[in-house]
């Protein structure tokens, strides 16, 4: 699978038009098993940009917080589908499945998550598209949850799967950041379906698409699992 | 600017201190100029595509003028080309200071000289002197260098408003950083338009930027 397949041909055509890659040999555009040079180049640079962002990431730097009066109302829905398509998860039967380098893998019910100490934040959500909104989320700090399930925090990644088929993964350093929470409430009430019920990740040190909604499974792993958008060409780390 | 007035018609002694055999544009400058041209085109084209994903003015850029085809492709090109711009730009600044390029070619710029040369240019009375930049050119070149630095700083603030929060705060926050970034781009694009227009009007300035060129070659024309 090539990462930039949706736009490969035009990417290279444009690059050729500008002469940037005109001296490089041609390649098989139509065979996805042979990603072209523009793809390879962009993937290489995106990997390098992941490294730079990891180096730039300071676990003690906090995302700015805001006053209640600054909260964006009404809240803005965003997903890769229409709001009417948002998955409705039955909280009664919902379980958070755990896998990978986790000591206590027993699935979690919502009431057990609510029994853990909760933290609240009013932070800014910045979309990769450039817009931003301010919201209030509260829930369980992910670092507390990782400790509660005896996760190996020396592992590289924490990966999430969602009820709508979305998936993403984050680096362990960002997972342990104090503002990274498994959010249960939004604007003072339990999350609603369009905003990620029953549990979503709220990570204000990353762009919006790194905040998966309606999480059904979490894995702690050393294996890079990418993400729905990262696999299509967005930068994986996407720190803020 | 009058294309028919070449160096040979200048009053004697106006570039007396420059030996006729001296290369007009030394090779490091030529290499950096064209690398910069590639980086700037990639950054503006992909930047327009990124802007289109969430425009804050009542217009978007035409698709044909953008690079990357979609937001993900555009960001990938933008964050790849920025390394070329930054490394090349940093090399240029170091080279320029060490070799005295800025001191000798772009300095000094006085308001009086700018007004004088601008007025002369508007009346088509400002001769093109090979190897010497007039005050308007100096102001424009220093201005576009400053805009380039502003574009990089505001771009960093948009890229990392949390980790680089002092920079973000300095520019007035995330949204203001986007606006400053847009303004810097607009200034660079306008410079580029004037730059290309002047090359079209005085085309003999183009070959020296490719092959170097010597003052004496131009003077014998």
Per-residue pLDDT reduced to its tens digit, B3-17:
344 443 444 434 445
CB of B68 within 8 Å of a chain A CB? The answer is yes
Q: Reading across the β-sheet that carries A97-100, which strands appear in turn?
A: A97-100, A215-221, A157-162, A167-171
Same domain, A98 and A202: yes
- B107 vs B100: CA distance, rounded Å: 10
Q: Which residues of A touch B161 (CB under 8 A)?
A: 64, 126, 240
Tell me how far the alpha carbon of residue A39 is from its chain's centroid: 22
Tell me how far the alpha carbon of residue B175 is from its chain's centroid: 25
CATH number of the domain that residue A181 is part of = 3.90.420.10
Q: Which residues does A133 contact at the CB level (< 8 Å), separation at least 6?
A: A72, A75, A76, A124, A125
Quickly state the pLDDT bin for B124 (edges 50, 70, 90). Answer: confident
Question: In the prediction, which pLDDT does B9 show?
Answer: 40
Identify which of A11, A131, A205 has the shortest CB distance to residue B68: A11
Task: Please say whether the beta carbons of A38 and A233 come within 8 A.
Answer: no
Q: Which residues of B touch A128 (CB under 8 A)?
A: 53, 71, 75
Measured in degrees and rounded to the nearest 5, phi and psi for residue A207 equal -65, 165
Q: How many Cα atoms occupy the beta-carbon half-sphere of B162 within 13 Å?
A: 26
CB of A10 within 8 Å of a chain B CB? The answer is yes
Each domain of chain B, given as residue ranges in start order, spans: 24-84, 100-213
Tell me how close the Cα of A79 comes to any Cα of chain B, in angstroms. 15
Cis peptide bond upstream of B108, omega within 30:
yes
* Residue numbers of A between 35 and 64 with CB closer than 8 Å to B: 41-42, 45-46, 48-49, 53, 56-58, 61-64
CB of B181 within 8 Å of a chain A CB? The answer is no
User: Mean pLDDT across the stretch A167-181?
Assistant: 98
Q: Which residues does A17 contact at the CB level (< 8 Å), separation at least 6?
A: none
Q: Taking CB atoms and an 8 Å limit, are A130 and B76 in contact across chains?
A: no
User: Mean pLDDT across the stretch A159-178?
Assistant: 98
- Assigned token pair, B64: 């044909």
Quickly state the pLDDT bin for B131 (edges 50, 70, 90). Answer: confident
What residue of B is the nearest CA neighbor of A63? B162
Scanning the structure block, which residue is given the tokens 């020296």?
B208
Q: In the predicted model, is pLDDT for residue B61 greater than 70?
A: yes
Q: Which residues of A touch B68 (CB under 8 A)?
A: 7, 11, 14
Q: Which residues of B touch A64 (CB under 8 A)?
A: 161-162, 165
Q: Taking CB atoms and an 8 Å limit, are A7 and B68 in contact across chains?
A: yes
Cis peptide bond upstream of B196, omega within 30:
no
Burial class (CB in 10 A: 0-12, 13-18, 19+), B183: middle
Tell me the residue length of chain B.
221
Same domain, A28 and A108: no
- A153 vs A101: CA distance, rounded Å: 9
Kindly state the DSSP code that residue B38 receives in the 8-state scheme.
H
User: Mean pLDDT across the stretch A109-130?
Assistant: 97
Question: In the prediction, which pLDDT does A135 show?
Answer: 98
Question: In the prediction, which pLDDT does B17 show?
Answer: 53
Q: Which residues of A touch B41 (CB under 8 A)?
A: 18
Query: Residues A80, A83, A88, A89: what is their CA dihedral angle, to the nearest 10 degrees?
Result: 50
Tell me the residue length of chain A.
240
Q: Taking CB atoms and an 8 Å limit, are A130 and B165 in contact across chains?
A: no
Question: In the prediction, which pLDDT does B5 show?
Answer: 40
Identify which of A4, A7, A57 has the shortest CB distance to residue B163: A57
Percent of chain B exceeding pLDDT 90 equals: 71
Residue B59: how many other CB atoms lie within 10 Å: 8
User: Mean pLDDT across the stretch A101-114?
Assistant: 97
Quickly state the pLDDT bin for A33 (edges 50, 70, 90). Answer: low
SS3 string of chain A?
CCCCHHHHHHHHHHHHHCCCCCCCCCCCCCCCCCCCHHHHHHHHHHHHHHHHHHHHCCCCCCCCECCHHHCCCCCCCCCCCCHHHCCCCCCCCCCEEEEECECCCCCECHHHHHHCCCEEEEEEEECCCCCEEEEEEEEEEHHHHHHHCCECCCCCEEEEEECCCCEEEEEHHHHCCCCCEEEEEECCEECCHHHCCCCEEECCCECHHHCCCCEEEEEEECCCCCCCCHHHCCCCCCEC
Same domain, A136 and A221: yes
Question: In the prediction, which pLDDT does A22 show?
Answer: 34
Tell me how close the Cα of B25 comes to any Cα of chain A, in angstroms. 22
Question: In the prediction, which pLDDT does B128 show?
Answer: 78
Which residues are bridge partners to A221 per DSSP?
Answer: A157
Q: Taking CB atoms and an 8 Å limit, are B163 and A7 in contact across chains?
A: no
Whether ipTM > 0.90 holds is no
- A143 vs A182: CA distance, rounded Å: 10
- B158 vs B50: CA distance, rounded Å: 12
SS3 string of B71-117?
HHHHHHHHHHHHHHHHHHHHHHHHHHHHCCHHHHHHCCCCHHHHHHH
Q: In the predicted model, is pLDDT for residue B136 greater than 50?
A: yes
Question: In the prediction, which pLDDT does B14 show?
Answer: 44
Q: Which residues of A touch B179 (CB under 8 A)?
A: none
Q: Taking CB atoms and an 8 Å limit, are A46 and B79 in contact across chains?
A: yes
> Is A239 contained in some domain?
no
Q: What digits encode the pLDDT tens for the residues A194-229? A: 999 999 999 999 999 999 999 999 999 999 999 999
Task: Please say whether the beta carbons of B131 and B215 come within 8 A.
Answer: yes
Question: In the prediction, which pLDDT does A171 show?
Answer: 98
Burial class (CB in 10 A: 0-12, 13-18, 19+), B118: middle
Question: In the prediction, which pLDDT does B126 show?
Answer: 85
Measured in degrees and rounded to the nearest 5, phi and psi for residue B214 equal -120, 150
Quickly state the pLDDT bin for A174 (edges 50, 70, 90). Answer: very high
User: Mean pLDDT across the stretch A58-84?
Assistant: 96
Question: In the prediction, which pLDDT does A11 show?
Answer: 45
Task: Please say whether the beta carbons of B158 and B178 come within 8 A.
Answer: yes
- B40 vs B85: CA distance, rounded Å: 7
Question: B57, B73, B178: best mutation site toward chain A, by most A Cβ within 10 Å?
Answer: B73
- B199 vs B27: CA distance, rounded Å: 19
Q: Which residues of B touch A57 (CB under 8 A)?
A: 163
Q: What digits encode the pLDDT tens for the residues A125-166? A: 999 999 999 999 999 999 999 999 999 999 999 999 999 999
Output the average pLDDT for chain B: 89
Domain of residue A43: give its range: 5-56
- How far from A61 is each of A218, B80, B178, CA to CA, in Å? 25, 26, 22
Into how many domains does chain A fold? Answer: 2
Percent of chain B exceeding pLDDT 70 equals: 88
Question: In the prediction, which pLDDT does B214 show?
Answer: 82
Quickly state the pLDDT bin for B150 (edges 50, 70, 90). Answer: very high
Q: In the predicted model, is pLDDT for residue A47 greater than 70?
A: yes
């Amino acid at each position: 699978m090539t990462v930039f397949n949706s736009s490969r041909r035009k990417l290279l055509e444009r690059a050729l038009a500008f002469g940037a890659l005109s001296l490089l040999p041609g390649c098989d555009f139509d065979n996805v098993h042979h990603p072209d040079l523009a793809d390879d180049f962009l993937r290489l640079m995106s990997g390098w940009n992941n490294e730079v962002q990891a180096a730039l990431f300071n676990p003690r730097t906090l995302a700015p917080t805001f006053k209640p009066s600054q909260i964006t109302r009404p809240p803005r829905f965003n997903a890769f589908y229409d709001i009417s398509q948002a998955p409705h998860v039955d909280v009664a039967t919902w379980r958070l499945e755990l896998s990978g380098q986790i000591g206590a893998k027993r699935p979690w019910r919502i009431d057990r998550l609510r029994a853990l100490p909760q933290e609240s934040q009013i932070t800014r959500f910045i979309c990769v598209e450039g817009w931003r909104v301010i919201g209030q989320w509260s829930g369980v700090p992910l670092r507390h949850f990782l400790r509660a399930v005896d996760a190996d925090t020396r592992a590289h990644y924490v990966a999430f799967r969602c009820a709508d088929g979305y998936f993403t993964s984050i680096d362990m350093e960002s997972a342990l950041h104090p503002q990274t929470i498994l959010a249960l409430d939004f604007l003072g009430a339990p999350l609603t379906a369009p905003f990620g019920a029953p549990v979503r990740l709220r990570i204000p040190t990353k762009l919006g698409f790194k905040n998966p909604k309606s999480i059904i499974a979490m894995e702690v792993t050393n294996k890079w699992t990418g993400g729905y958008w990262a696999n299509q060409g967005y930068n994986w780390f996407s720190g803020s | 600017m009058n294309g028919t007035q070449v160096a040979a018609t200048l009053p004697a002694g106006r570039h007396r201190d420059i030996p006729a055999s001296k290369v007009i544009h030394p090779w490091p400058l030529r290499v950096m100029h064209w690398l910069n041209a590639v980086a700037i085109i990639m950054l503006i084209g992909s930047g327009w595509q990124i802007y289109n994903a969430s425009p804050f003015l009542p217009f978007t850029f035409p698709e044909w003028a953008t690079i990357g085809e979609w937001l993900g492709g555009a960001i990938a090109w933008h964050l790849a080309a920025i390394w070329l711009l930054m490394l090349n730009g940093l090399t240029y600044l170091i080279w320029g200071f060490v070799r005295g390029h800025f001191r000798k070619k772009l300095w000094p710029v006085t308001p009086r000289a700018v007004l004088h040369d601008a007025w002369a240019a508007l009346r088509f009375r400002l001769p093109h002197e090979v190897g010497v930049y007039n005050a308007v050119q100096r102001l424009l070149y220093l201005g576009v260098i400053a805009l380039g630095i502003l574009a990089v700083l505001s771009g960093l603030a948009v890229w990392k408003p949390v980790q680089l929060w002092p920079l973000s705060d300095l520019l007035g926050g995330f949204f203001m950083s986007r606006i400053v970034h847009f303004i810097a781009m607009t200034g660079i694009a306008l410079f580029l338009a004037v730059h290309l227009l002047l090359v079209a009007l005085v085309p003999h300035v183009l070959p020296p930027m490719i092959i170097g060129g010597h003052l004496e070659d131009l003077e014998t024309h």
